[in-house]
Amino acid sequence: MSRVSTLWNRAFARLTGTSAHPHEEHATRTQLADFKRALDNAAIVAITDVSGRINYVNDTFCTISGYAREELLGQDHRIVNSSYHPKEFIRELWRTIASGRVWHGELRNRAKDGHIYWVDTTIVPFLNERGKPYQYIAIRSDITARKEAEEKLAQQAALARVGQMAAVVAHEVRNPLAGIKGAVQVLMSRRTAGDSELPVMRDIVGRIDSLSDLINDLMLYARPRPPRFSHIELRSVISDAVTIVRRDPAAQSIEILIEGAAVSASVDDELIRATLLNLVLNAVQAMAGHGRISVTLGQSGNVAVIQVRDNGPGIPLDIRNQVFEPFFTTKARGGGLGLPIARRTAELHGGSVTLECPEGGGTVVTMTLPLRPVASENTGASKDAPLRAETGL
């Protein structure tokens, strides 16, 4: 029997009152305290009762979640739930530990201040004499940096694919499209006002324009220009974007509100206005003609926070992880680059774009922007130089 097993057996004997060696009790308690100290320093630890109510958290749990110990005790882990994982995922977790088996996996949580963090988690049931769980201990490690690195690599791989496609499209498609559109417009000019062929020709021109817009989005995503920073009031940029959206026929029966305090930041107003326009239009299209959209502006430390919230049907669980992938779309006439461009624009400013679907319904897209330009690889030209060299753009 290993030394660790012996110590745990002695501890169990002590707790159950069956220890035959009272003189070893002090040594056992010391060893258990050492184990606890080692575990607390190496991991995020929480203990819950069988219903999931928290009755112990260590200091590391409090630090990473941002909650004080008294705010966590008596709660369950929904207090840090980010609504990222499907309900079936959580149900399977509970089925596993309720049956007395150990569960291991990765969880995305939300801290008190709203930021996301990832934890590699092992949940161990403590069983009574009937083999039924009477409490659970969850041992976690922070893997946020690793998950962010994985996401960054995936984005870079997607960008490389887009860059290759952009090179082909720019050289082989855009010019012929312009020629086709011009030829159709010449033919239209030769028709009389009541000609039955005119609607067909207008539809052709409209589809060509849609293709041109997709190509422009493709080029913007593959080769974004560096931001031109100026210090502006973000509420006016939001107001401009909302005013444009309100002119869209699809938004006529939708209430769009601008909320929050005034916040100024150094941003590229043209890029941010275009991004906000895209995000609000996405919300409008999700509302099926009726509903409410709120655009809220706020500040957290040195970061401006803009949230676009709608009360539409939300995004189905099975596609939430794909919405930021280039060319993924559920729209009949969508290029699937709106959200990827929005995220890329925010990153060029040193910020971020995230999306969530609360349990109450709807979708919330959050964009963060530093109040002052951030000196990083995102804002320089060097990041895109290899792409330009590879694609010839």
Same structural domain, 24 and 91: yes
Same structural domain, 255 and 393: yes
Residue 3 has phi, psi (to 5 degrees) of -60, -40
Write down the pLDDT at residue 393.
Answer: 28
Same structural domain, 242 and 387: yes
d(CA 107, CA 103): 12
Structural domain for 283, as ranges: 227-393
Q: Among 191, 206, 222, which residue terminates a domain?
A: 222
Same structural domain, 172 and 232: no
Write down the pLDDT at residue 377.
Answer: 45
Same structural domain, 55 and 125: yes
Q: Among 222, 238, 256, which residue terminates a domain?
A: 222
Please give the sequence-ordered ranges of beta strands (E in DSSP) within the chain, or none if there are none.
44-49, 54-57, 103-110, 116-127, 133-142, 230-233, 254-260, 264-267, 291-300, 303-310, 352-356, 363-370
Residue-level pLDDT, tens digit, the chain, 393 residues: 444 444 445 444 544 444 555 556 777 777 777 777 888 888 999 999 999 999 999 999 999 999 999 999 999 999 999 888 888 899 999 999 999 999 999 999 999 988 889 999 999 999 999 999 999 999 999 999 999 899 888 877 777 777 777 777 766 777 788 888 889 899 898 888 888 888 899 889 888 887 777 777 677 666 777 888 999 999 999 999 999 888 888 888 899 999 998 899 999 998 899 899 989 988 888 887 788 999 999 998 899 999 999 988 887 776 777 777 766 676 655 566 778 888 888 988 999 998 888 877 889 999 999 998 865 444 443 344 333 333 332
Write down the pLDDT at residue 21.
Answer: 59
Same structural domain, 235 and 383: yes
Q: Say how many domains are in the chain.
A: 3
Q: CB neighbours (10 Å) of residue 47?
A: 16
